[in-house]
Structures are given as structure tokens and as C-alpha cells.
Structure 1
Amino acid sequence: MSKALLKSTGIVSGMTLISRVLGFVRDMIYAQLFGAGAGTDAFFVAFRIPNFMRRLFAEGAFSQAFVPVFSQYQTQRPHEELHELVDQVAGTLGLILFGITAIGVLAAPVLVWIFAPGFAEAPDKQALTTAMLRVTFPYLLFISLTALAGGVLNSCGKFAIPALTPVLLNVCMIIAAVWVAPHFEQPAMALAWGVFAAGVTQLLFQIPYLKQLKLLPRPRWAWRAPGVQQVLKLMLPALFGSSVAQVNLLIDTLLASFLVTGSVSWLYYSDRLVEFPLGLFGVALGTVILPNLSRHHAADSPERFSQTLDWGLRWTLLIGLPATVALVILAGPMLAALFQYGKFGPEDVRMTTRSLMALALGLLAFMLVKVLAPGFYARQDTRTPVRYGLIAMGANTAMTLMLIWPLAHAGLALSTSLASFLNAGMLFRNLRHNGVYQPARGWPRFLWQLGAANLAMGLLLWWGVGDLDIWIHASARERLWHLFWLVMAGGGSYLLAILAVGIRPRHLLLQHEK
């Protein structure tokens, strides 16, 4: 079973790696062609609003609510009723989101004023952001329906296609930035149209694979259908609980709009680098274990449920701790090597380094939430994560108001990291207190081994990094080459260290397989 879980996680991670690499190429193009000015600030706000709602509706609340219900029907009902559920959810969700999209397009000026009030002091920037938002907002409709298709495919064990789909977003955005932007009076406006095209393309890409499973939706409105009501009942409270980190990042964007020009862009690039390991493993692992946890719950197997959570937590720490250490130490060198081209200059590297280090400190917490939250959603408990999410949001707001003055945009990132640790801690404590999760044997020794291995890797990277000014003034080739060898050395030293302290593959199997 653990081999199947690991294989599925590897498939999702592999597909995600392709997407993230293309995402880096996309962001390097952004940095070179557009820099960190008013145009990019406007686009990042215009994209972040529907993208935030996407994570709230699609990857967040909807996925966490739909997959457990789908798994229950898959386990206990005939195929005809399963197909009917997909038809009803697709039609109901689609019509609701169509209405939300129409409102979003009409209310674009109000949304820009709400989410980036600081732009009011720069009317041209505010007007450009509004125009962009009217183009990007329909992305919410397309990508949410894509998430429905992905939930069906993931629940049926077809993880590769949903994981590969985000590649299409990056391809569309690269085409828009390189070939379409020069034809616009405001070149950054082409990026908004790239988002729109990506939404349509990703949705169409899913259709043949749903057809193979004989689950291609025939959308119809069915608000009162039991399955739809069950999904909605789980989804509404999960709107807050499943995407607390994204709410916190949106608050950061709002406050950053009051700071100096470039602050929104610096936070964006920081977020992109943190999203790489988070998406590569944290999101991948959460995607894979949710259907498995849901099936264990539907089959009334609490022991297997706990063992699957334990397996996920071990792998999260095994990957998340070194990723956090490496990202904090290599923040400046990575930004200089990947983005210091064209209009993204040395000062942008220095400023983005501050926020990246602060946000990277929360990487492990972001990953833990992705693994712990399914422990609630698989049991169709959405209220508990909501309560904890609201507490974390309140803490984030309070810390932001304290940290923004001494640390500026870096204070926004640090408060998000600290709030995520609070959220992860509350989720873990609840699972333990209620007996849902029972740690397997060997955790104290495992934690000591991980600590020693990460210390060894961290010391090597710290010794090899040197001063940031050296990176900034080096040639592009020298920066990339130096970074490549540091990453190889860090990864190799960590692998050797975990072997030296005694961690073996058998220690990472599910408990009943050992």
C-alpha cells in the first residue's frame, strides 16, 4: 500500500516538477521583460484575486468537500449514481460560479479598491489593474470546473493528468509574455489574456480522460439533490479552513499596496519560490492521501486511517525540513541566479531576499497543513479546520500590524509563516487528542536523526554560499553554475547524512507493512 501511495505521490510530483520548472522560466521572463514596476504590480494583483478564489473554491474547499463524497459514492453506490453525482455537481457548481464570475467582472473596480486600496494613490495603476481583472476573473470559472474533473480523476487513481494540467497555464503565459505582449500598448495586459486562454485550455484538456472513465459530466442544475447538498454542506465552512495561508497572502497583498512600488512584486517572487517545493511535494502528498483517507473512513478502518496519516507526516518532515533549511540559506543566491536579468536589478534581489527568507521559514508548516487537513476532510469534518483557520487568520492580522512597520514587506511574509505554524499545531493537537491519529513507533529517534541530517546539510550550504554581493556582481553563467553545484552538494550531503544516521526505506513504510 505504501508503495502505491509513494508511486502516486511520485507521479504527481513528477508532473508538478515539469509545471514548476516552466513556472520558473515564466517568472524569469517576467523579471527580464517587465521587472518589478507598476505593470507587474497591477498584473499580480489582478491575477491574485481570481487565483486566490481558485485556491479557495477549486483546490481548497471544493476539492476537500467533493473527493470524500465522491469516494463514498464510489465505494457504496453503483456507477450510474456516481455519474449522476458528477452531472449534478458540475451543473450546480458551474451555474453558481458563472454568477460569481459575472459579478466579479462587473465589480472589478470595487474589488481592486478592496484588495489593493493603496493603488488609489496611483490612478493609472488602479485603472490598469481593473482592466486586467476583468480579463482574468473568468479564470475562476474555468479552473474550478477543471478542479472538478481533477477530483474525479484523482479519486479514480488517475493522478498524472490533473497534475500535468498546470503546465498548460505556464505555456500560455510564456506565449503571452514573449510573443503577444509586444503588440499591446500596455505590454503587461497580454499577461491577463494569457490567464484567460489558460483557463479554457486546461478545462478542455480534461474532457477526453473523463470520457474514458465514462464520467464526462452532462451538467444539470440539482441544488436539492442529496449528493450536491452533502458537498455544499462540507464546502461552505471549508472556504475558510482549507486556504488560510492563501487568505494570509491576500492580506499581505492588500497591505503591500500601501508600501513602496515593487513590494507586491517582491512578495510575488518570494511566494513563487516557496510554492516550488510546496507544490512539488506538499500539495502532491495531500492530493494523494485524501482519496485514500476517504476510502479508509468509508470502510470504517480507523487503524489504516491513522497509519496513512503517520506515513504522510514522516514523508513531510523528511522532505519539508531540508527544503526549509535550504531555501532560507539559498534565498539570495537563488533570486540572483534565477531572476536578476533585464529590469529585475540588484536592489530587487536584496529586497526579495528579505521576504523570501521570512516566507521560507513557514514552508514546513504549509506542508504540514496540506497533510493534516485531509485528516478532517476525509471524515467530512469541515468545521474544526474552519475554527482553527479563523484563529490563525486573526493571529496573522495581529502579527502583520506589529511586524509591517519594522520589517516592511518582509514582516508580511513572516507573519504568514508564524500563523501557518499555529494552524498546523492546532490541527495536529486535535487529531491526537481525539485519537484519530496515533503515532507509530520510532518517532523520537526519527526526529533526532532528521535534526542531525539537516544540521549537516545546513552547515555545508552556509559554508558554500558566501556573501550575497558576490552573487549579485557575478555573471549570469557563474551564478547559475554556482547555484547548481550548491543544490547538488546540499542534496547529496542530505542523502548521505540520512543514511549515516540510520534512516532506511523500511522506516518509511506504512506500519502494517513493516
Structure 2
Amino acid sequence: MLSRILGLVRDQLLAAFMGAGALQDAYQVAFRLPNMFRRLFGEGAFNAAFVPLFSSVLTKEGVPEARNFARRALGVMLVWLVFLCVLGEVFMPQVLRIIAPGFMQHGDRYTLGVSLSRITFPYLVLICAAALVAGVLNGLHKFSMAAAAYLAFNVVGIAAIVFAAPFMPNVAYAAAWGVTASGVVQLGLLLWACHRAGFGLMPLPPRLTPRIKLLVRRMVPGLIGSGVGQINLTIDTIIATLLPSGSVSLMYFADRINQLPLGVLGAAAGTTLLPVLTRHLAAGDHVAARDAQNRSIDYVLLLTLPAVAGLMVLAGPIMIVLFGHGAFTEHDALLSAQALRAYALGLPAFVMVKVLSPAFFARGDTRTPVYIGIGILVFNFGLNLALMKPLLHVGPPLASSIAAFFNVACLAFILHRRKSLELEGQTKRRIGLTIVASGIMGGVVWLLGQGVVFPHNFWARSVWLGGMVMAGAGVYAVLLYMLGLADLARIVARLRSKLSR
């Protein structure tokens, strides 16, 4: 939660100082590259392969063997990443021509993009190494520093924007150096925590031992799966660079708001559902697995659909209150709100992908979601090309939303054919009533917004927006109670019980 809040503050500063234009576009593209490799090699795929293997070695063979494995893995990773980083630095002009072809139309934006990308690219080496060290700490059941270190990205980023900008050519350079500096701080904090835990991690010379080969083999399916998603995001960026200046920025800030419910609900659902399904299926209890799947679908839609309604109705005020300051004008905020509505349309589908994918993984099928993902990638690219001209900055978000629904349809169809997904009548009824309740709530909030004028003062606007959100939440809670979708008294009692503990 702290990371989300600080990330929002950092984004507000980026918007206020750079607005939505060539400067912001160049910075966002420069950050996209190392962030893409971080997600590909550093976090999901690597941790999913490394942590179980490291924990197994630690349990069965003891601390010395586990430390040697971690040091060897760190050595292999560093050599590979440094090689990749050197290639990126040398061939950055050619890379930018591929991922930001629209920048070639404006020489200044292209030159700035190359310079900023060369500053941010070393971040991929630092953050991927940090992910390995964090995995070691998690394997040692030392969770606090592993979680807290990622706050450094936003803390250092905020400090760079505020304090270093006066000494740089512009704010974009300060923000770019802040990215790389945050990688140094994160890796340093994690290595210090490992040292404090008596588990120093000086990297060993790289060697493809049988255990390292096993680690690589386990990483490959995750790399392919996460790679499809990252390529989709990169396609959106490529298309956005071909649109009018500022389109990359407008889409970025809209996506940041859309990621709040997606990051919380989608990640929570996927993370908790996989071990539950695996346990039930291992015990041969297919009925319990089906019930768990249905409950997850029910719960996430109960929380996601009202978020969709709220974002559709309040997108303009949300973007104005959060980002409509300084160089990021109210007009920019309203344009970004259009992209936010397009992203919000696909929010249920984005979340449902996180809920349906574990049904394949729990059954040992890691290939089918990847094959479907590759098909969705091609479909998304075609939609982008079709929508980019008529809809401009709304085209790529809308293409992503439509592609996400197509992804859900394919996953659900295959699971149903395999009798791994069977929605009960009660679940279908609850989903239908949830759609009705969310629609009514959205209508009430829209009517309230028509009756109460949006103020001009920032604080008055913040109060106005907070009031609308609270009114919507209250209306939705009443509707859930009236439609029999939630027992509010029981929910309050459980909350009190948890708080009292």
C-alpha cells in the first residue's frame, strides 16, 4: 500500500513538471525498456523458478549448499544482464527506432529518448539482481526488507525529481537518473539485509551446473508467458509513438489509475487461488476445486464491476484531481480520462484472466495459456492498427480491453470443454445481480454529479470527488444487502473481530 501511495505521488510530480508532451513521452519510453526486462527476467518468471528451488536446497542440503547455489545463480545472472546492458547501450539508437518509430518524425524527441534510455538501461541489471537477493531473503523467511526495499524506487524517484532537477538539463534527466539510482539503493539495501542475516552473496564465476540448468528450464515457461504480456504493452507503446505528441503520456497516466484495482484484485485472486486449487486437485476433490473457482469469480466481480462503473462515471474528475496540475493541464487530464474509460471497460477481463489461468497451472498445464496469449498478441496488434487512426490515444487502450475479453473467452471455453469450469446457477445469478447493482450505482453517481457542480478549487474538488466515491460505495453496499448478495452485519462483525486482534 505504501508503494502504491508513493508511486501515485511520483506520478503526480512527473505530470506536474513535464505535462503530456514530447518530454514526458521520451521519459516514459526510456523507462519502458528496463522495466520490461525487469518484469521478464527479474520478478515473476525468475522468482517462480528460483525461490522453490532455493528453499528445497536450503531444507535438504543446508545453508552452505544453498548459499553456493544462490551465489552461482547471481554470477550467471549478472554476466548475462551486463552483456545485455552493454548491447543496449551500444545499439540504443537502433532499439529506439523499433520501439518508438514515431519519434523519428521529430528529431529532438528521438535524440532525447536515446539519451534518457541510456541513463535508465543499467537499472535492469540492478533490479534483476535485487530480485534474486529478495528471493533469497524470502526463502530465509526474512520478508520485511525484501518488501520494503521496493519502496526505494519511489522514494529515490521523488527525491530526484524534487531536488536534482535544478542541476539537470530538464526534469526528464533527473527522473531518469532517479530510476538508476533507485536500483543501486534497492540492491544495496537487500545485500545489506542478507549480510545481516549471515548469508553474504558474493557472486561466483558463472558455470552451467546441473542445478543452474534446472533453474533455467523452470524459468522458460514463465518467461514465455510473461513475455507475451510485455510484448502487448510494448506494442501499445509503439503505436502510441506514431500518434500525436503526448499520446504515450496520456495512456501512461490512465493506465496507472486502472492498475490500482487490477493490481490489488487480480494479483490477490491469482495468488490465493493457485495453491487452493492445487491442494484440492491433489486430493482428488474436483467438486471443492470447482467451488473455489466459482467463489473466486464471484468475489472478484463483486469488487471489480463497481470499480468499472465508478471509473467510467468519474474518470474526468479523478484525472483532474490527481494529475491536473502544473504542466499537466485540465485538458490533458480530460484526454487521459478518455483513455482511462477505455482501459476500465476491460478491467473485468484483465482480472478474470488472473482468475482463470490458475485453473490451468494447478492441473500442470502451463502451455495452453501461453498459446492463447500468443494468439491474443496478434489479435491485439491488428486491433491497434485498426483503431489507432480513428481513435488516437483511445485506440490502444480499447484494443487491449477487447483483446482481454477475447482472452477470457478462449480460456473459459477450453476450461469448460475440459469440464474444469462449471458455473453453478447460483453463481450466474449472483453475477447478473452484481452487474445490475453496479449499473444502478453508476447511474446514481452520474445523477449526483449532474446535480452538484464540479468546483474550481483543488481542495473543494478533492472533497467533491471523495463525497462521490463515498456516496457510490454507500449505494452499492445498500444494493448488495437488498439483493441478498452480501450480509453486511456479518461483514462488519468479521472486520471488528480482525481489528480487535
| TM-score range for the pair, normalised by the shorter chain length | 0.7 to 0.9
* Structure 1 range deviating more: 89-98 or 42-51: 89-98
State whether residues 302 and 431 of structure 2, in contact with CA within 8 Å, keep that contact through their aligned partners in structure 1: no
How does 1:80-479 map onto structure 2 within 5 Å?
A: 80=63, 85-151=69-135, 161-207=145-191, 210=194, 217=201, 219-220=203-204, 224-289=208-273, 292=275, 296=279, 303=286, 309-377=293-361, 381-436=365-420, 442-466=426-450, 471=454, 474-479=456-461
Instruction: Number of aligned residue pairs: give it.
Output: 487
| Map of 1:498 onto structure 2 | 480
Residues 384-442 of structure 1, C-alpha deviation per residue, up to 9 Å, x if partnerless?
22211110010101111111121111011100111122223333443444455566784
Q: Distance in 1 between matches of 2:60 and 2:289?
A: 21
1:42 partner letter: A
State whether residues 34 and 343 of structure 1, in contact with CA within 8 Å, keep that contact through their aligned partners in structure 2: yes
Residues 250-299 of structure 1, C-alpha deviation per residue, up to 9 Å, x if partnerless?
21211111211111110111111111222233224434555x36974996
Q: Distance in 1 between matches of 2:381 and 2:80?
A: 30
Secondary structure of the structure 2 residue equivalent to 1:502: coil
* Structure 1 range deviating more: 277-286 or 406-415: 277-286
TM-aligned CA deviation for residue 172 of structure 1: 1.2
* Structure 1 range deviating more: 201-210 or 414-423: 201-210
Task: Give the RMSD, CA atoms, in angstroms.
Answer: 3.3
Secondary structure of the structure 1 residue equivalent to 2:169: coil
User: Residues 374 and 100 from structure 1, CA distance in 2 versus in 1: closer, same or farther, beyond 3 angstroms?
Assistant: farther
Q: Distance in 2 between matches of 1:155 and 1:373?
A: 25
Q: 2:21 aligns with which of 14, 25, 37?
A: 37
Residues 310-355 of structure 1, C-alpha deviation per residue, up to 9 Å, x if partnerless?
5543432222222222112211110111111111113212211211
1:174 partner letter: I
User: Residues 300 and 411 from structure 1, CA distance in 2 versus in 1: closer, same or farther, beyond 3 angstroms?
Assistant: same
Residues 32-69 of structure 1, C-alpha deviation per residue, up to 9 Å, x if partnerless?
11111221111011001211222222334334444565
TM-aligned CA deviation for residue 155 of structure 1: 6.5
Q: Distance in 2 between matches of 1:212 and 1:475?
A: 50
TM-aligned CA deviation for residue 26 of structure 1: 1.4
Q: Distance in 2 between matches of 1:219 and 1:375?
A: 38
TM-aligned CA deviation for residue 494 of structure 1: 2.3
Q: Distance in 2 between matches of 1:450 and 1:492?
A: 15
State whether residues 359 and 416 of structure 1, in contact with CA within 8 Å, keep that contact through their aligned partners in structure 2: yes
Aligned-pair identity in percent equals 37
State whether residues 153 and 162 of structure 1, in contact with CA within 8 Å, keep that contact through their aligned partners in structure 2: yes
1:282 partner letter: G
State whether residues 270 and 353 of structure 1, in contact with CA within 8 Å, keep that contact through their aligned partners in structure 2: yes
Q: Distance in 1 between matches of 2:443 and 2:81?
A: 50
2:101 partner letter: P
TM-score, structure 2 as length reference: 0.86
Segments of structure 2 that go 5 or more residues without pairing to the other structure are 492-501
State whether residues 17 and 327 of structure 2, in contact with CA within 8 Å, keep that contact through their aligned partners in structure 1: yes
TM-score, structure 1 as length reference: 0.84
User: Residues 166 and 372 from structure 1, CA distance in 2 versus in 1: closer, same or farther, beyond 3 angstroms?
Assistant: farther
Secondary structure of the structure 2 residue equivalent to 1:344: coil
How does 1:16-27 map onto structure 2 within 5 Å?
A: 17-27=1-11
User: Residues 462 and 231 from structure 1, CA distance in 2 versus in 1: closer, same or farther, beyond 3 angstroms?
Assistant: farther
Q: Distance in 1 between matches of 2:215 and 2:425?
A: 36
Q: Distance in 2 between matches of 1:121 and 1:98?
A: 32
* Structure 1 range deviating more: 315-324 or 340-349: 315-324
Segments of structure 1 that go 5 or more residues without pairing to the other structure are 1-16, 508-514
1:484 partner letter: G
Q: Distance in 1 between matches of 2:468 and 2:424?
A: 35
Based on CA coordinates, which of the two structures has the bigger radius of gyration? 2
User: Residues 245 and 149 from structure 1, CA distance in 2 versus in 1: closer, same or farther, beyond 3 angstroms?
Assistant: same
Q: Distance in 2 between matches of 1:396 and 1:34?
A: 30
Q: Distance in 2 between matches of 1:161 and 1:325?
A: 37
User: Residues 358 and 74 from structure 1, CA distance in 2 versus in 1: closer, same or farther, beyond 3 angstroms?
Assistant: farther
State whether residues 64 and 377 of structure 1, in contact with CA within 8 Å, keep that contact through their aligned partners in structure 2: no
User: Residues 22 and 263 from structure 1, CA distance in 2 versus in 1: closer, same or farther, beyond 3 angstroms?
Assistant: same
Q: Which has the higher contact order (CA 8 A, sep 6+)?
A: 1
Q: Distance in 2 between matches of 1:376 and 1:221?
A: 38
Q: Distance in 2 between matches of 1:75 and 1:379?
A: 27
1:321 partner letter: L
User: Residues 236 and 165 from structure 1, CA distance in 2 versus in 1: closer, same or farther, beyond 3 angstroms?
Assistant: same
| Map of 1:11 onto structure 2 | none
| Map of 2:45 onto structure 1 | 61
* Structure 1 range deviating more: 200-209 or 104-113: 200-209
1:477 partner letter: W
User: Residues 66 and 175 from structure 1, CA distance in 2 versus in 1: closer, same or farther, beyond 3 angstroms?
Assistant: same
Residues 67-97 of structure 1, C-alpha deviation per residue, up to 9 Å, x if partnerless?
56557x3798455565555444333333322
* Structure 1 range deviating more: 170-179 or 89-98: 89-98
User: Residues 315 and 65 from structure 1, CA distance in 2 versus in 1: closer, same or farther, beyond 3 angstroms?
Assistant: farther
TM-aligned CA deviation for residue 445 of structure 1: 3.3
State whether residues 102 and 241 of structure 2, in contact with CA within 8 Å, keep that contact through their aligned partners in structure 1: yes
| Map of 1:480 onto structure 2 | 462
Secondary structure of the structure 1 residue equivalent to 2:43: helix
Secondary structure of the structure 2 residue equivalent to 1:46: helix
State whether residues 362 and 420 of structure 1, in contact with CA within 8 Å, keep that contact through their aligned partners in structure 2: yes
Q: Distance in 2 between matches of 1:487 and 1:161?
A: 34
User: Residues 159 and 363 from structure 1, CA distance in 2 versus in 1: closer, same or farther, beyond 3 angstroms?
Assistant: farther
2:305 partner letter: L
Q: Distance in 2 between matches of 1:425 and 1:150?
A: 36
Q: Distance in 2 between matches of 1:332 and 1:362?
A: 18
1:112 partner letter: L
